[in-house]
Every structure is written in structure tokens, then in C-alpha cells.
Amino acid sequence: MDMPLLQQTLSELGQPAYRERQIWRWLSQGADSFEVMTDLPRGLREALGERLAFSSLTLEREARARDGTVKALLRTRDGRPVEAVLMTYRAPRGVRGADPGAAGRRSLCLSSQSGCPLTCRFCATGAMRFHRNLSASEIVDQALHFRRSGPVDHAVFMGMGEPMMNLDAVLEACARLPAIGISHRRTAISTVGWIPGIRRLTSEPMPIRLALSLHAADDALRCALMPVNERYPLADVLQACREHYERKRRRVFVEYVMLAGVNDSHVQARQLAAVLDPRIFKVNLIPFNPTDAPYEGSSPKAIEAFRAELERQGLGATVRLTRGRDIDAACGQLAARGA
């Protein structure tokens, strides 16, 4: 729902301010039309239905993977592609590498921009055109889309875009997530290391998790993989993360995409462990999802060896469970196909 437009429409219709709160309560609980909002006068429900689109996004396509992951390709009113993903986790009986704490979770992967202005070499979104920042309503509407099919409880900004480059809208959307069922502690913002955004999140009272896409422990390799490192070099980014930890006392999660022969050697594992303080950082190794980029993912064996070396160095490390691979919903593949 375009919330500013809703406010404007309500005031044009001469409605009291509490109507907006009533409508938001329904929306946040998964209502799918004005019709069902039975505590609004019938005439008002009809007037709103005639004047307002129910969502700022329209669903173009939805794909369901064998593991239950659902990927939605949505469009803004002006036709820009937006992708959002729902990951559901069943009780992980006997599944290797599964996180037992994740059982029953319904977790969202949200986009902050349509396309991305950054050009990380391995990322499919980085290769597509940057359209624009999403509004707070367009971000919230991704969550509401999935809320209409059941409860949701976690969210990560790991869809399209760099959330720290659109932080006003992202934080405004985050402020609405608890009403939908997603507390701030169960919300994570992932960044390439956009320092002004990290600092702002540090001074922000909402206890949102910071996740850092690192992918390399030295500047030369990181610049080759992520040109943004020229602007915000490794040492400065890690310093901003340490300050974040000092202030918030919440660990920073490091994402590290495993690229065969590029960043997955034994030496590189030791190098990574040397730059990350284990009290502050926890590493999540991400199996690479093939894109058009000229990289290959590390083998499961290489990933496990890398993980084991980090642990030997005293640094906590897990391997991300890859979800939705058969429908291109895996991270880094959002929207590139449909855009």
C-alpha cells in the first residue's frame, strides 16, 4: 500500500487520522482487500477500493522451488522489477548442516532497490541496469505480499540493491516490520561496506543486525571482485564494523561467497581469520550460485576445508544452506532473468 497516498486519500475523503492506523492493522495482519476491513464503514471501503491500488507492487510471476522457497517477481507502478523471496524451513530431522533453530521459520529476502548501482563482478543484479531506489511502501509491500499467505518472522535485506544507499526508505520499512511479525532483532541489513550507512545504522536505536559482504581479506582481490572497495577500503570498513559492535554489542555477520581458485585457498582462510576478531565477527560462507560471470563456485569439499580452517583459527563459521536453486531464487540471481 502506498502509505503517503493512503493518507492523502483519507484526508481528501474527510476521514479522521485513526483510519490509517485501522487500515495498517489489517494490512499488517495479511488482509488482501479493503472489503475484509469490517470496522471501516462500507462506503469508505468502496471509495478506497475505487481510488487506490491495494499494493504499490503487482505480482508478475511467482515460482515455487522443491524446497518450498517461493520467489516473487513484482513490478512497481512505473514498471520496475522487484524480487522478493520467502524461505520456509521445516523441522530439519537428520538434514546435514541444518540449523535446528531455524525449524518452522518463515524468512523473507527483501530488495531495497530495483537493480543496483554497484558492480560486484560475480553478482547478477550488479550486471543489470540500475533503475531506482524503492520507496518504504514498496519495500513493505514485498513483506505484505508474503504475509498474505501466512505468518512471517525473519527478514534480510539481501535481495536486489544496496540497502545502505537507500537507508531512509529501508529504515522506514524496518520500523513497520514488527507489526507484520518481524522484530528488529530478526531483521538484518546486508551491505557491501558502505561506510556512511554502517555509521548511521550504528547510531540508529532499532537493534537491527548488520551483515557485511566481505568476499576477500585483502584490498587487491576485494577491489577486483567489488569495485566499491576502491571507495571504502577494507581496513576502514572493518573499523566501522568494530565501532558498530562497540556501540550495539551485536555481532556482525560476514558473508563470504566461495569462488573456486579465487578466494577459497587455505592461505586465504588464514588471512581472513587474521583480519576478523572472533568476538565481533561470525562468518557465513556462501556457496556461489552460477551467473553469467566468469566464476565457478568452490566445491563442497573446498568450502568445508575453508570453514574448518577458520574454526581452527578460532573464528566461528557456518556454510549457508542454498535454497531455491531450481528457480533462480538463490542470492545474486534476483530479477536478472525477469528484468
Q: What angle do CA 114, 102, 106 make, to 5 degrees?
A: 45
Give min distance, CB of 141 to ligand SAH, in A.
Answer: 19
Whether residue 83 lies in the annotated active site: yes
Tell me: does residue 84 bind ligand SAH (CB under 6 A).
no
* Closest residue to ligand SAH using C-beta atoms: 332
Q: Does 286 bind ligand SAH (CB under 6 A)?
A: yes
CA gap 232, 117 in Å, rounded: 15
Handedness of CA 152, 157, 160, 166 (dihedral sign): positive
Query: How many residues sit close enough to ligand SAH to count as binding (CB under 6 A)?
Result: 17
Which of 12, 62, 83, 109 is catalytic? The answer is: 83
Report if residue 166 touches ligand SAH, rule: CB under 6 A.
no
Please say whether the beta carbons of 187 and 181 come within 8 A: no
| Amino acid at residue number 47 | A
Does position 83 bind ligand SAH by CB under 6 A?
A: no
* Biggest CA pair distance of the chain: 69
Residue 245 phi/psi, 5-degree rounding, is -65, -45
Q: Is residue 289 near ligand SAH by the rule CB under 6 A?
A: yes
Q: How far is the CB of 133 from ligand SAH (least distance, A)?
A: 13
What are the backbone dihedrals phi and psi of residue 107, each rounded to the nearest 5 degrees, phi first? -115, 140
CB of 39 to ligand SAH, least distance (A): 39
Instruction: Tell me, residue by residue from 41 to 70, as one string, x for binding to ligand SAH by CB under 6 A and - for no binding.
Output: ------------------------------
Assess 133 for contact with ligand SAH (CB under 6 A): no
Q: Which of 291, 303, 309, 315 binds ligand SAH (CB under 6 A)?
A: 291
Phi, psi values for residue 178, rounded to 5° = -55, -35
331 is catalytic: yes
Q: What cell was used for 329? A: 531464487
Q: Select from 206, 211, 89, 205 the least CA-distant residue to 153.
A: 89
CB 130 within 8 A of CB 115: yes
Nearer to ligand SAH, 188 or 206 (CB): 188
- Binders of ligand SAH among residues 240 to 259 (CB under 6 A) are 255, 257
- Tell me the window of 68-76, 175-183, 242-250, 281-289 that interacts with ligand SAH (CB under 6 A): 281-289
C-beta atoms surrounding 262 within 10 Å: 20
Which residues are designated catalytic? 83, 331
The binding site for ligand SAH (CB under 6 A) comprises 120, 122-123, 158, 162, 190-192, 213, 255, 257, 286, 288-289, 291, 331-332
